[in-house]
Amino acid sequence: MIYSNTPRPESLKSLSDAIHVPFWLDDPARPTPRPLLTENISTDLLVIGAGFTGLWTALLAKEQNPARDVVLLEAGEVGTGASGRNGGFVDASITHGFLNGLSRWPAEIAILQKMGEDNLNAIEDTIKRLEINCDYCRVGEIDIATEPYLLDEFKELIELAKPYNIQFQLFDRDQLYEIIKSPIFLGGIKRPDSSLVNPAQLAWGLRKACLDLGVQIYEKTPVTKLEEENNFVIAHTLHGNVRAHRVALATNAFPPLLKRISYYIVPVYDYALMTEPLTSSQRDSIGWHGREGLSDGNRQFHYFRTTADGRILWGGYDAVYHWDNGFGPHLEQRPASFARLAEHFFQAFPQLEGIRFTHAWGGAIDTCSRFSPFWGTAHHGKTAYSMGYTGLGVGASRFGALVMLDLLDGRRNERTVLQFVKTKPLPFPPEPLRSIGIKLSQWSIKQADENQGRENLWLKIMNWVGLGFDS
């Protein structure tokens, strides 16, 4: 079934009380921000940006070498970027899915899969070891078919994955109905190597762990400029500077501090809704007592999951790029996308007609043309960056942090020898070609969904060149 994009009055009504704040950040456990930087200081390692990438970098840097001074500067508050506003799917894949990894790094996919699984296990171990209370659950993720051709694609995926020992599980319509009841779900494929988390609580737990190990965190302290000075990099902020031996840039889709990054990243806005907690009869009407993470298998897809207090998060579908890498809080609210999401929700779960959405929000994804993180250095190796996660960075950000530390410490190891780490995505063209190309790709993706997955010439050429668009 193709979702209808015309919102009915009932769907619009379900949104009328929703507040425009990410559900996860609307939590009494949100910590009071640390003071901003108001003096000039020096450090061994400066981390810029306190989302998952920056927090893992600071934590791992301290765990690897407790004697190292680490300073973390955050423009807003810890976790208020993408890390505190995502779906909370923690995927083992560090390549934005097995298929993307297989098509781009066929010679390395086996090791990349293994590194991804180790990374997910390490995240889980850290959460347990540090006793971070963040509703972490290893429940797996099911991709769902709403069109028959997707079931064939799932079967092909299982064949492709066989040599790599990935344990996919296929469900037909009846088997899926035992897990989740929707009139439009035709079957699904489950990957066990995926977890769910309350992302803001994870970020705050990592923040506390960093503070406990002596990381100095300054919030509401945007870095305005980086400058190389002899053996140091100077980070300028409004009320003080940091003189650092090494700098780790973890600024994701935000306007970059290094010009070169803007060729590789486009900020793409993704939106999500959260329902009120379901009553027990509403829950019984849809089943889904197992808390599996779900998404539909279309190219333009929704992701959905439940929370500890029995709500449903429903997000995705629209992926909005604004002219010339447009960015800012004003783009986090988009009534048309909220209305479309609400309408699609009730098409998937007509049993829940009448339920209200309490939260509606958006956030920016750092899309790059290969959909998976990339790394690089600047200032003669004193600065490193990790970004480009393209909507699948909750888990991959820890791997990104490890690689950044490898690069800053000059380590050659099993990670830094990978082509995956050594190469960069193809850059996006400048405007107006950037906007035109993205619009054409989005239109073509929609066409493919409406034409049994068949890709038009534009998508075929883009795939062949290696220049993709995804969220």
CB 167: neighbour CB atoms within 10 A?
11
Of residues 3, 24, 154, 254, which one binds ligand FAD by CB under 6 A?
Answer: 254
CB 390 within 8 A of CB 470: yes
Q: CA angle at residue 370 from 158 to 107, to 5 degrees? A: 55
**To the nearest whole angstrom, how small is the minimum distance from the Cβ of residue 424 to ligand FAD?**
17
Which window, 73-81, 108-116, 139-147, 151-159, contacts ligand FAD (CB under 6 A)? 73-81
CA distances in angstroms from 131 to 134, 196, 206, 411, listed in the order given = 9, 16, 10, 30
* 354 alpha carbon, distance to own chain's centre: 30
Say whether residue 59 binds ligand FAD (CB under 6 A).
no
**To the nearest whole angstrom, how small is the minimum distance from the Cβ of residue 353 to ligand FAD?**
25
CA distances in angstroms from 130 to 127, 134, 202, 432, listed in the order given = 5, 11, 11, 48
Residue 325 to residue 343: CA distance in whole angstroms = 29
Binding flags for ligand FAD, 430-469, as an x/- string (CB under 6 A): ----------------------------------------
- Alpha helix segments (H runs only) across 290-432: 335-348, 396-408, 419-422
Say whether residue 97 binds ligand FAD (CB under 6 A).
no
Question: Which parts of 369-398 interact with ligand FAD (CB under 6 A)?
Answer: 389, 391-395, 397
Which window, 48-56, 117-125, 410-418, 432-440, contacts ligand FAD (CB under 6 A)? 48-56
Say whether residue 425 binds ligand FAD (CB under 6 A).
no
Residue 151 to residue 387: CA distance in whole angstroms = 33
Say whether residue 223 binds ligand FAD (CB under 6 A).
yes
Single-letter residue type at 263: Y
- 130 by Cβ neighbours in 10 Å (0-12 / 13-18 / 19+) ranks as middle
**To the nearest whole angstrom, how small is the minimum distance from the Cβ of residue 112 to ligand FAD?**
16
Question: Which parts of 173-192 interact with ligand FAD (CB under 6 A)?
Answer: none
Say whether residue 296 binds ligand FAD (CB under 6 A).
no
Of residues 34, 62, 85, 340, which one binds ligand FAD by CB under 6 A?
Answer: 85
Q: CA angle at residue 183 from 182 to 185, to 5 degrees? A: 65
Of residues 7, 88, 140, 297, which one binds ligand FAD by CB under 6 A?
Answer: 88
- Which parts of this chain interact with ligand FAD (CB under 6 A)? 48-54, 73-76, 80-83, 85-89, 91, 222-223, 250-252, 254, 257, 270, 272, 303, 315, 363-365, 389, 391-395, 397
